[in-house]
Amino acid sequence: MKERKLYFLLYFFIAITIAFINVGCSDDKEDPITPPQTVSESEELIKYLEGTDGGYINNAAPAVIAASVVYPDVLSGANIAIIDVRGAADYAAGHIQGAVNVEIKDVVTYYKNNNLSTKSKVIVTCYTGQSAGLAVAALRLSGYTNVYSLKWGMCSWAYPTSWNSAKLYGQTTPITLQTTANQKNAAGNLPTLTTGKNTGAEIFESRLTTVLNEGFTAIGITRETVFANLSNYYIVNYWPVSEYDQGHIEGAIQYTPKSDLKLATFLKTLPTNKTIVVYCYTGQTSAQVAAYLRILGYDAKSLQFGANRLFYDTMPGSKWDEATEFMNYPVVQ
């Protein structure tokens, strides 16, 4: 009798154990462990910045305003703000009435803290309009649509020396132009970003901070540096095809403004393993484009003074002419 009870208990124990194992296995099949999802930060960032219309660079850039448009607003006390990103000493020596000296790394914070979205226009000025391009790109990409770069910078307002020198150098030391077209790279990979963020907005904030802290010294590149060894660079001619065909830097590849730097077009043809040099007519547009590309993770630079300092007499597009571009407006100290 005792043996039968022991046998029954043993049978019961084995049955319960098997049932427990089966339930556990069944649960495993019904609720498998989901592997963590990985985010392509580059794609998330680009989709965020392009939005539905291509974003600022591919839709509205460059946001540039002439001194002749700004001056009447200064005189009338219009609801505008002027940010001067030059060095403190140069700002103190003479600046536009009402302008506030702000470092490039702080322009977005300054805009937010001072509620500049309530202004009809926010004008950013620098020496030549090129470093202001970085600041304007940062602000426009942040969604602030009332921001403009002062065309030609303070050269057009009161101090023309830098652009006069650039023009003269382009006249007396022009480069030899190439007229045959160079082909874009085959489409490749996007830059690898490691901000640790998951959403486009978060990734953008992280990359924006990095690029602003680097400042314009990381973006600008001189003619001398580039021409010391052209093969070191992937040179982007940011002009329409018709003007590219008239003559361009040897080896330069044409990218059409507001068209060719989209994810759906030719953005992926830019190399991730080589420095990209973007050039335009004056460096004011290319500075904004290079800032955008750096935010995306490319090692991009803007050729300072653009074609004005390369081949002034035969160049198409926007030329510096002191007789028409220099306004000689007053400054304050």
DSSP assignment of 279-331, as one string?
E-SSSHHHHHHHHHHHHHT--EEEETTGGGGT-GGG--S----HHHH------
3-class DSSP state of 114: coil
* Separation between Cα atoms, residue 239 and residue 248, nearest integer Å: 10
Residues 282, 304: contact at Cβ < 8 Å? no
pLDDT (tens digit, 9 = 90+) per residue, 17-70?
A: 444 444 444 444 455 554 444 679 999 999 999 998 899 999 999 999 999 999
DSSP secondary structure letter of residue 2: H
Whether this model's pTM surpasses 0.85:
yes
Backbone angles phi, psi at 296, to 5 degrees: -75, -10
| Mean of pLDDT values over 132-161 | 98
Question: Mean pLDDT score of the chain, rounded to an integer?
Answer: 92
CA distances in angstroms from 279 to 4, 123, 285, listed in the order given: 95, 23, 8
Please give the single-letter amino acid code of residue 14: I
pLDDT for the residue numbered 52: 87
Sketch out the chain's domains with CATH numbers: 56-158 (3.40.250.10), 171-314 (3.40.250.10)
Q: Per residue, what are the HEC states of 125-176? A: ECCCCCHHHHHHHHHHHCCCCCEEEECCCHHHHCCCHHHHHHHHHHHHCCCC
How would residue 228 be classed by pLDDT, with cut points 50, 70 and 90? very high
